[in-house]
Amino acid sequence: MRIAFVSSECFPYVKTGGLADVAGALPKALARLDCEVKVFLPLYSSIDVAQHGLIAAAELKSILVRIGDKDILFDVWYGKLPDSEAEVYLVDCPTYYHRPTIYTNDWDEDERFILLQHAAIMIMQRYNWAPDVLHCNDWQAGLMPAMLKLTYNWDHLFDDTASLFSIHNIAFQGRFGRPTVQKAGFSFDLYYPGGPLEFDDSFSFMKAGIAYSEIISTVSETYAHEIQTATYGNGLEGELAARSTDLYGIVNGIDSEDWNPQKDAFIPYRYSARALANKKKNKKALLKTARLPFDEDVPVLGIVSRLTSQKGIELLQPIINEVMQLPLQIVALGSGDHGLEGFLRWAASTYKDSFSAHVGYDNELAHQITAGADIFLMPSRYEPCGLNQMYSLSYGTVPIVRKTGGLADTVKDYHEYYEQGNGFSFNDYSPYALHLTILRALDMYNDKKAWKGIMKRGMTTDFSWESSARHYLELYKTAKNRHAEL
C-alpha cells in the first residue's frame, strides 16, 4: 500500500510534542509492514540538513505555487527516516519557514501551511506518484482532502486516492478569516454559516479536514468518543457526531528504538523488567543532576510536559503545600505558559530539598526523568493519546493520571484486591482527587512486593507501533473502500 503522510512536525527533524513522535514512528512501522511511505513536512530553519543527511532534489527546484495573489517558490530536500525505507520530503521556502518558532501568530500563518499542503501534492505530481491513502495530520494538513476533491480533481493521478484525517488535538483548529478562503484557492460558495469550511464566523482548516476526508481518526478510542461531546469537542462535537460511523480511535505506539530502557543512550544505566536493579542507579543519577538528596524510601515524582492548561499541572497549585509535606520529591521539566513556568520555579525555590524544576525543552533530561523517577505525574484535563505515560510504563515508572482520552485507555488503575493495574488514575478534574491519588500511590509504594507487580505489569505491556500500524492498515483499507463507493 502507498501512503503519503503530511505533518507539521516529525522526529528527529523537528519536534514540539507527541505529533512529531507519531510522524517519526508510524511511517517507519508502516514501511516495515511493506508499505511505500512518503512523509511531507516544512524545512524549518532549525533543521540542519547536513546533520540529517538530507539531499537537495535537483529535479524539484523553484516550483511555483499561487497563494492568493502571491507567487511563491519552493525547493525540496529529501532523505529517509533513520533506519527506515520511509522517505521524507521537506518543503524549503525561507520566506515562510525561517522563523524563530515553528508555529507562529504571524499574519501569514495560514499561508505557511497552505504552502505545505499544495507543495506535498505538487511533489507527488512531479514524481507521478499517487498514494492509496493521503494521511493528513491535524489542521496544518486539514485542507488536503478538500484540495484533492476540489482543486486537483482535474488530475486523474489521484482518482484512486482516499484521505484519512487524523486529529491529534481538537483544541487547535487552524481558524482564519474569510480572506483565507481565497488564499487557499477555494470558492466563496463553500463559505457560508454551517458550511463545510465555515466554523463560528471563521475558516477552519480542522473542520474542512473533518468534512472532506473519507475517514477521520483520532489517537485513542476514548478521545474518539469524548470529542463528540460538548465538554471535549471544542465546538466541533456536532460535526464529529454526524460522522461518527467514519470516526475511529487508534492509540499511538512508542518507538522502541528511542524509548527503551534496555537501549536508551541518554540514561546512565540500562535495565529491563527482569533486571531492575539499575533503575535505582538512574534515580540516584537523576537526583544528583536535579541537586536533590537521595533517599531510597522517598519516591520521586517526575513531570515532563508542555506547560499548558491541557496538562493539568495547575491542579498541583492549590495543594502544593500539603503535597510537599509528604515523603516525596518532585523533578519537573517543562516549558510553555509563563504562569506555570513561574509556579515550577517558585516551588523549586520554596522546597529546596524536595522540588527541582527545569524550565525548558531537554530531550536528554526527559529520558533521564522517565528512567529515574518512581512515579510519573500526568493529570491532564484532556489527553488525546499521551505518550509520556506509555514511556513511563515501559520504564517501570508508575503513572498517576486523570482518566481521560488515551490515559484512560493505557493506564489501568491499580486494584489491591485483584492485584491488577499498572498505575493510578482518578476521574474528577480537581486538586482534591489528585491529592487523594498521590496519597494512594504513596501507600502502595511502601508495599514493595505490590509495587514491583505494578511496575512489571507496565513494563511488559505491548505498546509497540507494530500493532497500532496494523490497525492503521485496516483503516486505510476502509478509507479506500469508502472512496471507491463515492
Q: Which residues contact ligand ADP by CB under 6 A?
A: 17-18, 21, 304-306, 333-335, 361-363, 366, 385-388
Looking at residues 237 to 276 of the shown chain, list those that interact with ligand GLC (rule: CB under 6 A).
252
User: Taking a C-beta distance cutoff of 8 angstroms, is the pair 147, 117 a contact?
Assistant: yes
Please provide the size of the chain in residues. 486
Helix (H) or strand (E) holding 435: helix 431-445
Nearer to ligand ADP, 181 or 387 (CB): 387
Cross-strand bridge partners of residue 226: none
The residue among 327, 304, 302 whose CA lies nearest residue 439 is 327
CB of 305 to ligand GLC, least distance (A): 10
Does 140 participate in binding ligand GLC (rule CB under 6 A)?
no
Q: Which of 37, 385, 411, 434 binds ligand GLC (CB under 6 A)?
A: 385
SS3 156: helix
CA dihedral sign of residues 435, 349, 314, 312: negative
Q: Which of ligand GLC, ligand ADP, none does residue 219 bind (CB under 5 to 8 Å by kind)?
A: ligand GLC
User: What is the SS3 string spanning 225-256?
Assistant: HHCCCCCCCCCCHHHHHHCHHHEEECCCCECC
Q: How far apart are CA 21 and CA 17, in angstroms?
A: 7
Is residue 219 within the footprint of ligand GLC (CB under 6 A)? yes
| Residue from 3, 4, 14, 22 binding ligand GLC (CB under 6 A) | 22
Please state the closest distance from residue 37 (CB atom) to ligand ADP, in A: 21
Among 92, 132, 264, 383, binds ligand GLC (CB under 6 A): 383
The grid coordinates listed for 71 are 507567487
CB of 218 to ligand ADP, least distance (A): 13
| Count of residues that interact with ligand GLC, criterion CB under 6 A | 14
Stretch that binds ligand GLC, among 69-77, 93-101, 349-357, 381-389 (CB under 6 A): 381-389
Q: How is residue 289 written as a grid cell?
A: 543532576
Residue 24 interacts with ligand GLC (CB under 6 A): yes or no = no
Residue type for position 54: L
Query: For residues 128 and 158, is the Cβ–Cβ distance under 8 A?
Result: no
Report if residue 41 touches ligand GLC, rule: CB under 6 A.
no
Residues numbered 274 to 333 that lie near ligand GLC (CB under 6 A) are none
Q: Are 285 and 372 in contact (CB under 8 A)?
A: yes
Closest approach of Cβ 121 to ligand ADP, in Å?
26
Binding site for ligand GLC (CB under 6 A): 17-19, 22, 168-169, 219, 252, 383-387, 406
